[in-house]
Homo-oligomer: A and B are copies of this chain.
């Protein structure tokens, strides 16, 4: 199970981990299984763990005053799930993260992660690269949300995230795009012509 994580890390750094480093990493990350619908993080709690998804699918969302869920992130294999704001600032999270499918995670606390980064320089490099990618992805999504029509935005989503289309139902995708399921249904009908 930890091998997925080691492979992932090795793919994102310039020179491979030593076997001592691999041992440290295996020791630091704790396996965790979640059944479908189980929470990884509940609104109001401080996000204690970062989870690397070995298998499964999860979603992160907020719930507004009317009880409507707004999906802010979707996660599948090889994604890191956490509410960074809560985790870094130690504030109660505004989000829920739960398992959409039965999911296997490797979890670590932020403190342990920082500790590990102190011992393994390559991890610092990896985190920086992850942060960069993350920043780029966020930038793109924000620009798309602000600039595009719902139709174009959906089109780009299909292009860029075909995996998500297969793993999550349409009303989840709609929410991720900031539109209702009915609107998405109509957009798709339009696009078929």
Identify the A interface with B (CB < 8 A).
62, 64, 70, 72, 84-85, 88-89, 94, 124, 127-128, 131-132, 134-136, 138-143, 145-147, 178
Closest B residue, CB atoms, query A88: B132
Task: A85 to B137: give the CA distance in the assembly, Å.
Answer: 9
Quick check: A142 and B140 within 8 Å, CB to CB? no
Identify which of B127, B135, B140 contacts A128 (C-beta below 8 A).
B127
Interface residues of A, dominant DSSP: helix
Q: In the assembly, what is the distance between CA of A145 and CA of B143, in Å?
A: 11
Contact flag A135-B84 (CB < 8 Å), given A62-B147, A127-B128, A178-B146: yes
A84: chain B residues at CB < 8 Å are: 132, 135-136, 139
B178 touches A136 (CB 8 A): no
A sample of 12 inter-chain contacts (CB < 8 A) reads A64-B147, A70-B143, A72-B142, A84-B135, A89-B136, A94-B143, A128-B131, A131-B131, A131-B135, A135-B135, A135-B138, A141-B142
